[in-house]
Amino acid sequence: MKRRLTIAIMAAVALLALPSCSKNEETPSDPEGTVTVNMLDTENGGTVLDYSGVRINSSQNFVSQGDWGLVEVGKVGGLGYISGRDVEFFSSESAVTVGSGYIAYPVSDMRRFDSGKMALPIDGSTACMKLYVVSRLERDEKTVGASVKYAMVRPSTYGLPAFGSTVCKIKVFSSRKATITLPSAECEYYLDDEYDQFECSKSGNKLELFVKDHSGRERNDLYLRMRDSYTKVVVELVYE
């Protein structure tokens, strides 16, 4: 009897030690401005999502028209689970899959970096569209579209400095160098060094700039990319 009681107490203690899923883990909420719409395919009305041109064709695939490109995220828990990512290629069409997420990007607003990755500016001038397929729409035992949640979302900042801000001022007659701390080691940079004024080196999240020639521009644009977002900041030369 004593052995049974001891086992029962040990089991109870073990249960108490397990992490709580309901209290400690929060489910991401849908982005502000989320809309749920019944999207009919092109044979049954051809619903179009805002100005993105995204629609469902007769083969039950998402397609985009004009300037917008599609990226399939895969299975996610909802619209709030769709996060930014590295973007290099777009799909002309993607299968409409229940429980999957997608991102539509305005391609002409994006900048391509040396890595081939593309990103949207964080200056507030543009947005991407996130989509999540809730369920299929059926009519007379035939699929005619899908119930879709979507939202227009501004690019995330990921800790990038404000667009248009000055990140450093380099005294060309004294130090001639500066160190810029990037949001992470994965941050990609491009310095618009038209006059070959700088030597640049990156180690981890530190970007080192050295002025080797100060006869060019005083203000130089530095582009920084994190995932699908980028900023443009200024490196200023000070002549004193």
pLDDT > 60? residue 14:
no
Beta bridge partners of 145: 40, 137
Q: Of 153, 185, 216, which marks where a domain is finished? A: 153
pLDDT > 90? residue 13:
no
Q: What is the pLDDT of residue 25?
A: 54
Mean pLDDT of the chain: 89
Residue 15 inside a domain? The answer is no
Residues near 141 by beta carbon (within 8 Å), at least 6 away in sequence:
none
Residue 225 inside a domain? The answer is yes
Residue 4 inside a domain? The answer is no
What's the whole-number mean pLDDT along residues 24-30? 76
Q: Are both 175 and 114 inside the same structural domain?
A: no
Q: What is the pLDDT of residue 36?
A: 97
Digit-coded pLDDT (tens) for 103-121: 999 999 999 999 999 999 9
Residue 20 inside a domain? The answer is no
Which residue matches tokens 């030597």?
A: 199
Model confidence at 65, pLDDT cuts 50, 70, 90, reads confident
Digit-coded pLDDT (tens) for 142-196: 999 999 999 999 999 999 999 999 999 999 999 899 999 999 999 999 999 989 9
Number of domains in the chain: 2
Model confidence at 127, pLDDT cuts 50, 70, 90, reads very high
Asked whether 132 and 110 are in contact (CB, 8 A), the reply is no
pLDDT > 60? residue 96:
yes
> What angle (nearest 5°) sits at the alpha carbon of residue 28, between those of residues 27 and 31?
150
Pairing of strands 177-181, 206-211: antiparallel
What does the CA dihedral 124, 148, 24, 228 come to, rounded to 10 degrees?
-30
Residues 113, 120: Cα–Cα separation, whole Å: 11
Q: Are both 37 and 133 inside the same structural domain?
A: yes
CATH number of the domain that residue 202 is part of = 2.60.40.10
Top-confidence residue, 4 or 171? 171
Q: Of 153, 179, 197, which marks where a domain is finished? A: 153
Q: In what order do the strands lie in the sheet with 128-139?
A: 35-40, 142-153, 128-139, 100-106, 68-75
Q: Which amino acid is at 194?
A: E
Kindly write down the DSSP assignment for every residue of 69-108, as one continuous string. Answer: EEEEEEE-SSGGG-----B---BSEEE--TTEEEEEEEGG
Asked whether 64 and 53 are in contact (CB, 8 A), the reply is yes
Query: In angstroms, how far is CA 153 from the centroid of its own chain?
Result: 10
Residues 171, 217: Cα–Cα separation, whole Å: 13
Question: How many residues comprise the chain?
Answer: 240
Which residue matches tokens 């309901």?
A: 22
pLDDT > 50? residue 219:
yes
Digit-coded pLDDT (tens) for 142-153: 999 999 999 999
List the domain range (segments joined by +) for residue 210. Answer: 166-238
Q: Are both 141 and 170 inside the same structural domain?
A: no
Residue 161 inside a domain? The answer is no
Q: What is the pLDDT of residue 66?
A: 80
What's the whole-number mean pLDDT along residues 54-60? 97
What's the whole-number mean pLDDT along residues 213-229? 94
Q: Of 125, 153, 181, which marks where a domain is finished? A: 153
Q: Model-level pTM? A: 0.86
Rounded percentage of the chain residues whose pLDDT exceeds 90: 80
Quick one: which of 68, 71, 143, 146 has its CA closest to 101?
A: 71
SS3 content of the chain, % helix, strand, coil (to 5): 10, 45, 45
Q: Are both 45 and 113 inside the same structural domain?
A: yes
pLDDT > 50? residue 16:
no
Q: What is the pLDDT of residue 21?
A: 38
Residues near 8 by beta carbon (within 8 Å), at least 6 away in sequence:
none
Q: What is the pLDDT of residue 27?
A: 80
Lowest mean pLDDT, pick from 17-21, 69-73, 107-111: 17-21
Q: Are both 97 and 173 inside the same structural domain?
A: no
